[in-house]
């Protein structure tokens, strides 16, 4: 009789085979005085039959049905029992195989990385050591020097299908310094030690990407013995890698997609392209920590849903991969696949006063150690202005304010977000002297030897603001590569008599990167920061909207949704600044709406500069009515709005 699975040592049966063993024992006893009598009647292998009845052996399906036939039993009855037994045994054997795989259980046990892994880790330390923002004209300190550790706050979905409202209530309690039970800010290390995977959300510029950069950099340096493991970012010895969510859009297996996304993220920092085999499981005995950045930046919702499903599949409990996924808030129904007891939901906390103080000290020390103490104190005094105090709790805006203060210490800082972005844009794009652009100067040497190429370079440089505007709009509406869009624009808009010499695309890439608005990855150009793309696109859209704002309802709808709220608010504010336009039209429409519309009115008011007192008081009165009613004001941004108005009225 052909055998099946290996027998179990000793006499104790496998629990997985108990059902099948009981079935055969009952069938034998129903037609024979003993098992031995059945064996002798049919000249069978006595040991194997006894092992089947004891549950220590699983025969092949053919042998099992043949044995059932000798017992005059219907083989179709025993087949599903055998199948359940085989599946249970397979699970057992797979678990045993998994338990025998090499494991690294502590940082003290991590081996020296082999060449293929060292290639990736070394690239990570170089790629993430740069600040995410190219700050022209100032000393950009290394991320490890200027980074200020931020805290996370648990973000659980609410009951009754209103998770956003519950979150806002918790944020409001935090702003009012009210305790919220166990909702206490924690470090990233504490969050990762509590949860196998993390979904980290935050407002635009909250520091999500920087958090991922710093986490990955520290872990890579620990593996490379460039940093001590005495105070690790988390207790488990994980191997880090950081990719953008958009780079996960592709075909192939998970290891193939992850290898390609890593190649695109690290590009020239890699000595050789990583193999998918490297990402096929634990290496070397340690789980991967995959930081997936910018889930919200995947524009196409079905594509984003597909990536979320793939991430949820691999973010299982006990998986070979741990995940830290960063995103702006997305609709709850989209994120449902990433909900689970093993996935921690956190939102990144803005700077508190002590964190802002530490950031300013580190920033100005990197500029000039001699004057750093005085400059940091001056900066902190300036941002104590009520209109700036809330803004600089946002790390991106704090960084832009620090750049502005460094570049022009005698010039007052802007007191609203739009003007901060505009100041930064001017430094990078339109201020020739301040930006210190090198590429146009370098390419002027072509004037005599290659006049056609030089003429094209000069024309592109003069058209850079128009090109950046086009690319910003494209970035928010399509997934097309920015370089392809830019080249198409040049071909369409260049003077008819202007030739495009061979290799002009390389000159073009250099000119775009030299504006400071773009960085280059192996997959092509991308905007320095998604928020800056939104600001630039908002300027273009605002300029195209007439004074009656016929598309108002569409833009309000965008503002009510979390994914496009920042873009919609910037567009509304910039539209209201154009001569002949009145932001009061939008505020009137919002105040006539429900609670969510009133919340958006508060946000819009907090972003605007000078607003007619009638509208300001109408918004404040509506918010106070909501605050004194049965339901509290459900938005921490509204408290900032009221604070700004209080400062404005007290100043007058």
- Section 336-343 average pLDDT: 88
For tokens 């808030």, name the residue: 329
pLDDT score recorded for residue 107: 82
pLDDT score recorded for residue 136: 54
169, pLDDT greater than 80: no
- Does any domain span residue 176? yes
pLDDT score recorded for residue 118: 95
Q: Tokens standing for 421?
A: 């972005």
Instruction: Assess whether 570 and 642 both reside in one domain.
Output: yes
- Section 569-577 average pLDDT: 95
Three-state secondary-structure class, residue 562 = coil
Structure confidence by residue, pLDDT tens digits, 462-485: 899 999 999 999 999 888 889 999
For tokens 């819009």, name the residue: 604
Structure confidence by residue, pLDDT tens digits, 19-73: 999 999 999 988 888 988 888 888 888 899 999 999 999 999 999 999 999 999 9
Structure confidence by residue, pLDDT tens digits, 120-146: 999 999 886 455 444 456 776 666 667
- Does any domain span residue 381? yes
Instruction: Assess whether 341 and 367 both reside in one domain.
Output: no
pLDDT score recorded for residue 458: 87
- Does any domain span residue 4? no
Is 634 in contact with 169 (CB distance < 8 Å)? yes
- Does any domain span residue 413? no
| Domain end among 84, 100, 116 | 100
pLDDT score recorded for residue 1: 47
Rounded CA gap, 261 and 247, in Å?
5
Instruction: Assess whether 84 and 44 both reside in one domain.
Output: yes
Is 208 in contact with 202 (CB distance < 8 Å)? yes
What's the domain count of the chain? Answer: 5
- Does any domain span residue 533? no
Instruction: Assess whether 259 and 304 both reside in one domain.
Output: yes
pTM to 2 decimal places: 0.77
- Section 198-206 average pLDDT: 91
- pLDDT band at 174, cuts 50/70/90? very low
| Domain end among 494, 528, 562 | 528
Structure confidence by residue, pLDDT tens digits, 63-82: 999 999 999 999 899 999 99
pLDDT score recorded for residue 646: 55
Rounded CA gap, 564 and 126, in Å?
33
Instruction: Assess whether 334 and 357 both reside in one domain.
Output: no
- Comparing 339 with 116, which gets the higher pLDDT? 116
Q: Which residues of 32-68 are buried (b: 16+ CB within 10 A; e: fewer)?
A: beebeebbeeeeeeeebbebbbbbbbbbeeebbbebb
- Section 543-559 average pLDDT: 95
Is 124 in contact with 216 (CB distance < 8 Å)? yes
Residue-level length of the chain: 652
User: What's the mean pLDDT when you consider all of the chain?
Assistant: 84
| Three-state SS annotation for 41-57 | HHCCCHHHHHHHHHCCC
**Rounded (10°) angle between helices 636-651 and 595-607:** 50
Three-state secondary-structure class, residue 244 = strand
357, pLDDT greater than 50: yes
Rounded CA gap, 622 and 589, in Å?
13
Of the ranges 271-275, 402-406, 450-454, which one carries the lowest mean pLDDT score? 450-454
Q: Is 137 exposed, middle or buried (0-12, 13-18, 19+ CB in 10 A)?
A: middle
Rounded CA gap, 53 and 36, in Å?
12
Instruction: Assess whether 204 and 282 both reside in one domain.
Output: yes
Q: Is 27 exposed, middle or buried (0-12, 13-18, 19+ CB in 10 A)?
A: buried
Is 587 in contact with 576 (CB distance < 8 Å)? no
- pLDDT band at 332, cuts 50/70/90? confident
CA distances from 202 to 64, 131, 293, 348, 388 (A): 59, 19, 12, 5, 20
- Section 545-571 average pLDDT: 93
- Does any domain span residue 54? yes
Is 346 in contact with 335 (CB distance < 8 Å)? no
Three-state secondary-structure class, residue 611 = coil
Element (H, E) at 347: strand 343-348
pLDDT score recorded for residue 231: 86
| Pairing label, strands 321-327, 197-201 | parallel
pLDDT score recorded for residue 391: 87
- pLDDT band at 83, cuts 50/70/90? very high
Instruction: Assess whether 272 and 210 both reside in one domain.
Output: yes
- Section 98-114 average pLDDT: 80
Structure confidence by residue, pLDDT tens digits, 391-406: 899 998 999 999 999 9
Of the ranges 65-79, 144-158, 569-583, which one carries the lowest mean pLDDT score? 144-158
Instruction: Assess whether 317 and 233 both reside in one domain.
Output: yes
354, pLDDT greater than 50: yes
Structure confidence by residue, pLDDT tens digits, 598-640: 989 988 988 887 788 888 888 888 888 876 554 444 444 455 4
Instruction: Assess whether 599 and 646 both reside in one domain.
Output: yes
Start-to-end Cα distance in the chain: 99
Other CB atoms within 10 Å distance of the CB of residue 73: 18
- Section 546-563 average pLDDT: 93
Rounded CA gap, 626 and 628, in Å?
6
Q: Is 550 exposed, middle or buried (0-12, 13-18, 19+ CB in 10 A)?
A: exposed
Rounded CA gap, 535 and 392, in Å?
17
- Section 165-176 average pLDDT: 40
252, pLDDT greater than 60: yes
109, pLDDT greater than 70: yes
Query: Which string of DSSP letters, residue by residue, matches 252-289?
Result: S-HHHHHHHHHHHHHGGG-SSPPPGGGGSS-SSSS-EE
Q: Tokens standing for 580?
A: 């002949």
- pLDDT band at 580, cuts 50/70/90? very high
CA distances from 462 to 18, 466, 494 (A): 81, 9, 12
pLDDT score recorded for residue 172: 37
Q: Tokens standing for 139?
A: 């000393």
Rounded CA gap, 70 and 256, in Å?
51
- Does any domain span residue 416? no
153, pLDDT greater than 90: no
- Does any domain span residue 95? yes
Rounded CA gap, 549 and 576, in Å?
10
64: domain CATH number is 1.10.260.40
pLDDT score recorded for residue 253: 94
106, pLDDT greater than 70: yes
Of the ranges 197-201, 238-242, 618-622, which one carries the lowest mean pLDDT score? 618-622
Q: Tokens standing for 80?
A: 């599903």
Rounded CA gap, 21 and 11, in Å?
13
Q: Is 551 exposed, middle or buried (0-12, 13-18, 19+ CB in 10 A)?
A: middle
pLDDT score recorded for residue 446: 66
For tokens 């008011």, name the residue: 605
Give the residue numbers spanning the domain of 631.
544-651
The CB-side HSE value for 162 (13 A sphere, CA atoms) comes to: 8
99, pLDDT greater than 80: no
Other CB atoms within 10 Å distance of the CB of residue 317: 10
Instruction: Assess whether 524 and 548 both reside in one domain.
Output: no
pLDDT score recorded for residue 444: 65
Instruction: Assess whether 457 and 480 both reside in one domain.
Output: yes
Structure confidence by residue, pLDDT tens digits, 480-524: 889 999 999 999 999 999 999 888 888 888 888 878 788 877 667
Nearest to 531 by CA among 565, 482, 483, 488: 565
**Which residues are CB-neighbours of 501 under 8 A, at least 6 positions away?**
450, 452, 453, 456
Instruction: Assess whether 468 and 554 both reside in one domain.
Output: no
Please tell me what DSSP assigns to residue 112.
P
Q: Tokens standing for 226?
A: 């460039």
216: domain CATH number is 3.40.50.300
| Domain end among 348, 373, 388 | 348
Structure confidence by residue, pLDDT tens digits, 288-305: 999 999 999 998 889 999
**Which residues are CB-neighbours of 227 under 8 A, at least 6 positions away?**
218, 221
425, pLDDT greater than 60: yes
CA distances from 31 to 21, 34, 565, 583 (A): 16, 9, 76, 92
């Amino acid at each position: 009789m052909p055998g099946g699975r290996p027998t179990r040592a000793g006499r104790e049966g496998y629990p997985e085979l108990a059902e099948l063993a009981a079935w055969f024992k009952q069938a034998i006893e129903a037609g024979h005085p003993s098992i031995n009598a059945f064996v002798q009647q049919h000249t069978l292998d006595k040991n194997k039959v006894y092992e089947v009845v004891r549950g220590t052996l699983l025969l092949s399906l053919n042998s099992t049905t043949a044995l059932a036939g000798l017992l005059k039993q219907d083989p179709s009855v025993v087949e599903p029992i055998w199948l359940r037994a085989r599946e249970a045994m397979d699970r057992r054997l797979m678990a045993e195989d998994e338990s025998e795989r090499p494991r690294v259980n502590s940082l003290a046990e991590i081996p020296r990385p082999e060449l293929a892994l060292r290639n990736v880790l070394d690239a990570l330390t170089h790629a993430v050591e740069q600040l995410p923002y190219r700050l022209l004209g100032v000393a950009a300190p290394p991320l490890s020097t200027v980074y200020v550790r931020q805290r996370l706050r648990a973000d659980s979905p609410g009951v009754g299908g209103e998770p956003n409202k519950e979150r806002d209530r918790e944020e409001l309690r935090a702003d009012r310094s009210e305790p919220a039970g166990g909702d206490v800010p924690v470090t990233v290390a504490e969050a990762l030690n509590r949860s196998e995977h993390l979904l980290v959300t935050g407002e635009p510029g909250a520091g999500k990407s920087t958090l991922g950069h710093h986490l990955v950099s520290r872990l890579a340096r620990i593996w490379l013995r460039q940093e001590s493991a005495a105070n690790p970012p988390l207790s488990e010895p994980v191997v880090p890698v950081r990719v953008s969510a958009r780079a996960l859009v592709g075909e192939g297996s998970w290891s193939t997609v992850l290898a390609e996304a890593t190649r695109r993220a690290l590009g020239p920092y890699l000595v050789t392209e990583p193999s998918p085999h490297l990402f096929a499981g634990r290496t070397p005995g340690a789980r991967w920590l995959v930081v997936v950045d910018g889930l919200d930046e995947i524009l196409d919702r079905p594509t984003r849903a597909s990536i979320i499903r793939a991430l949820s599949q691999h973010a299982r409990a006990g998986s070979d991969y741990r995940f830290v996924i960063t995103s702006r808030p997305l609709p709850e129904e989209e994120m449902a696949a990433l909900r689970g007891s093993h996935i921690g939901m956190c939102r990144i906390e803005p700077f508190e006063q002590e964190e802002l103080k530490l950031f300013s000290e580190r920033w100005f020390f990197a500029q000039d150690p001699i004057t750093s103490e005085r400059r940091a104190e001056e900066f902190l005094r300036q941002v104590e202005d009520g209109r700036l105090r809330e803004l600089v709790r946002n790390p991106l805006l704090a960084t832009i304010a620090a750049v502005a203060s460094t570049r022009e210490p005698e010039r007052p800082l802007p007191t609203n977000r739009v003007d901060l972005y505009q100041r930064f844009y001017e430094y990078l794009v339109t201020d020739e002297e301040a930006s210190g652009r090198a590429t146009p100067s370098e390419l002027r040497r072509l004037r005599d030897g290659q006049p056609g190429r030089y003429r094209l370079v000069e024309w592109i440089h003069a058209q850079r603001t128009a090109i950046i505007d086009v690319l910003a709009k494209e970035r928010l509406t399509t997934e097309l590569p920015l370089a392809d869009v830019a080249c198409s624009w040049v071909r369409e808009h260049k003077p008819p008599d202007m030739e495009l010499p061979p290799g002009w695309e390389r000159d073009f890439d250099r000119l775009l990167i030299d504006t400071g608005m773009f960085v280059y990855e192996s997959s092509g150009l991308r905007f320095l920061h998604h928020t800056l793309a939104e600001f630039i696109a908002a300027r273009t859209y605002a300029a195209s909207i007439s004074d009656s704002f016929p598309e108002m309802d569409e833009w309000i709808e965008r503002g009510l949704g979390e994914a496009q709220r920042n873009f919609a608010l910037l567009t509304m504010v910039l539209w209201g600044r154009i001569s002949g336009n009145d932001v009061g039209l939008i505020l009137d429409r919002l105040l006539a709406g429900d609670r969510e519309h009133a919340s958006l009115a508060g946000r819009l008011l907090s972003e605007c500069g000078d607003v007619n007192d009638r509208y300001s008081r109408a918004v404040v009165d509506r918010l106070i009515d909501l605050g004194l009613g049965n339901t509290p004001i459900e938005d921490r941004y509204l408290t900032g709005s009221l604070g700004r108005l209080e400062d404005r009225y007290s100043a007058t």
